[in-house]
Amino acid sequence: MKSDNVKKGMQQAPHRSLFNALGFTEEEMNKPMIGIVSSYNEIVPGHMNLDKIVNAVKQGVAEAGGVPVVFPAIAVCDGIAMGHIGMKYSLVTRDLIADSTECMALAHQFDGLVMVPNCDKNVPGLLMAAARINVPTVFVSGGPMLAGHVKGQKRSLSSMFEAVGAFSAGTMTEDDVKEFEAKVCPTCGSCSGMYTANSMNCLTEALGMGLQGNGTIPAVYSERIKLAKRAGYAVMDMLEKNIRPRDIMTKEAVINALTVDMALGCSTNSMLHLPAIAHEIGWDFDIAYANEISEKTPNLCHLAPAGPTYMEDLNEAGGVYAVMKQLLDAGLLNGDCMTVTGKTVKENVAKSVNLDPTVIRTMDNPYSTTGGLAVLKGNLAPDGSVVKRSAVVPEMMVHEGPARVFDCEEDAIDAIKSGKIVAGDVVVIRYEGPKGGPGMREMLNPTSAIAGMGLGSSVALITDGRFSGASRGASIGHVSPEAAVGGPIAFVHEGDIISINIPEMKLDIKVSDEELAKRKAEWQPREPKVTTGYLARYEKMVTSGNRGAILELK
């Protein structure tokens, strides 16, 4: 056992004295030591129930013959962090989570791990850590929130942000907003649409790192407690069989996850996190590779914000495995990939059935014959940009309009809410990328303001920042190279015509090559916005969005 490095032999007598201080019995010292990475806290709604999940995991590990030992991981609530300096601290936590978990696991020589995350950066950060540490590891999340109900309709957090825009437009009263405020987030859990947290939890199933239902069983269901106990059993089984994360998270498994992503219509943030996870297993891929997957993968689900269904509906329809079974039968998944069950993908999904074709469409009746995400390239984004095309209305799939240029999110929001943005405009928000932000803030406030003002079918938004999974509309993010490193988005002038062609995967500025070269020669880098603390260190090491905003030593 790996933990023998801190438990066995005369040289480890001092170590054993410290385990004695922890209350370990002699019997426990002879059993595998399983670290349980708890993301529990009292500020994130998706994490407030994780103490119960952790206790169930502990019970499962102990019943299966292991010794459970809990240690923490941080997590930021993107909703609470939205629209102010706090959002600079969201994406950056992904690497803090990976690094700190790596430190704890290797410093204390755990034999196996159970990761208990839920929200946006928490899941990919722990997946990155799992690949680095490479001891038997299972994921069990806290589960999604139930949808809210307002005026007879299911609603979620994206509805809340759009209500603020509707109030600014004069189409919703303050009392209406207060009703939304009281009802859209009715339970604990990760927010109820196919936003980033739920996207990544669903993709743990597709990658093979989570058990069936990990992405979809609602947080408040007792079935989630059972799942946590089974995760405890599963890690002990993996330990016996010596199945490790790098046996599971292979290149083929990442391609499976990309494929499921396209079918589900996941958040654009998955195109930051999957490349970062792939990097940890030694595979760096151009994000445009996703288009190859998308071209042959139909979009089968339109969960909020793209449509009227929610995570609870996907769960009742058969969950992620039901989607995977349809993709496998169509020859679009690699069924031989190993998983945390000790079985292959093909074995896991063999008995899964689509129980509701109105939630999970069949392969012969997809929402579109292509996947939910697209990577656009062109002279405005030579290294790529990302759009959730499944959440774009048909009339905006091809669009040309004048650029309305803003160098920060706040200025754009002020212009939108004061009525300065009109139908046909293309809002450009720059210097919000991983390095320029720093931290690559989500643009949920401006996209929600656009939708709330009734401009969702006539105004596009382009940024080197990123979007919440709750954003919808012609929202194109991760524009790379970013403005802060002299990407072409830095050279856009007010009134330039921007051309968007999502079916052809193109994003261009309609000025000549000579004019772009002239503007580039005149451009000067800006001083960093932050010069102290973690963000300053992050800014010096982070890459652009097309590479997953991974950190590299310069």
Out of 38, 190, 390, 468, pick the active-site residue.
Answer: 468
Cα 82–119–275 angle (5° rounding)? 95
Chain centre to alpha carbon of residue 250:
19
Instruction: List the structure tokens of 300.
Output: 């089968």
Task: Give the separation between CA 525 and CA 546, rounded to whole angstroms.
Answer: 20
HEC readout, 302-366:
CECCCCCECHHHHHHCCHHHHHHHHHHHCCCCCCCCECCCCCEHHHHHCCCCCCCCCCCCCCCCC
Q: Which residues pair with 499 in a beta bridge?
A: 400, 508
CA dihedral (379, 381, 385, 390) in degrees, to 10, reads: -20
Q: How far is CA 371 from CA 332, 375, 458, 469, in A?
A: 12, 11, 23, 16
Contact (CB, 8 A) for 75 and 86: no
Task: Give the separation between CA 302 and CA 322, rounded to whole angstroms.
Answer: 15
Closest CA to 237 of 7, 32, 26, 35: 32
Phi first, then psi: give them for residue 488, nearest 5 degrees. -60, -25
Instruction: List the structure tokens of 3.
Output: 């933990």
Per-residue DSSP letter, 373: E
Contact (CB, 8 A) for 207 and 139: no
Q: How many CB atoms lie within 10 A of CB 43?
A: 10
Instruction: List the structure tokens of 452.
Output: 């709330």
Instruction: List the structure tokens of 140.
Output: 């069990």
CA dihedral (60, 61, 64, 65) in degrees, to 10, reads: -150
Does 390 participate in catalysis according to the annotation? no
List, in sequence order, every beta strand (DSSP E) within 393-459.
398-406, 426-429
Contact (CB, 8 A) for 502 and 405: no
Would you please indicate which residues are annotated as catalytic (active-site) residues? 468
